[in-house]
Amino acid sequence: MFGKLKEKLTGGAARMNGKTDLLEGICAACVMVGAADGDFSDDEAQVALDRLLNHETISVAFSTAQIEQAFDKQAKRAKSGMSGRIALTREVEDVKKKSTNEDMEMLFMIAIDVAGADGSIGDKEAAALNKIGTIIGLSLARYLE
């Protein structure tokens, strides 16, 4: 059983290796959720970055420096007004165009994890998750059942 799990995780990491556009899309989704209330605080950024750095697939597929660089790029967008928020949405749209269903589901599950990091998902976070889900064709309700 553990062998199959390890094989799946390593296979996922190998599949992601070099897909920086997927990493940036995942970071963008996390930032969209963190900034849903209109402010992307340092605490929210740290929680999201920690989730990414400790994710069993992402942390194997990408170096810490790659993850931090991709995350910082998206976090700056959240703080640059409407044009930055549109750019975040476009990053997620790019994932839809270029990625597998499994990749999109991983993006969505990480975003849900970031939204619920404080123990609950607020209305604004749920709205951001619904927007992300609509873009990539996944239903938030299905994952919160």
The CATH number of residue 35's host domain is 1.10.3680.10
Q: Structural domain tally of the chain?
A: 1
Query: Over the stretch 75-118, which tens digit does the pLDDT of each residue have?
Result: 999 988 899 999 999 999 999 999 999 999 999 999 999 999 88
Cα Rg of the chain, angstroms: 14
Domain residues for the domain of 70 are 2-144
Task: Supply the DSSP symbol for 38.
Answer: S
CB 131 within 8 A of CB 32: yes
Query: Over the stretch 40-54, which tens digit does the pLDDT of each residue have?
Result: 888 889 989 999 999
Tell me, yes or no, if the pTM score tops 0.85.
Answer: yes
Query: Over the stretch 15-39, which tens digit does the pLDDT of each residue have?
Result: 666 678 999 999 999 999 999 988 8
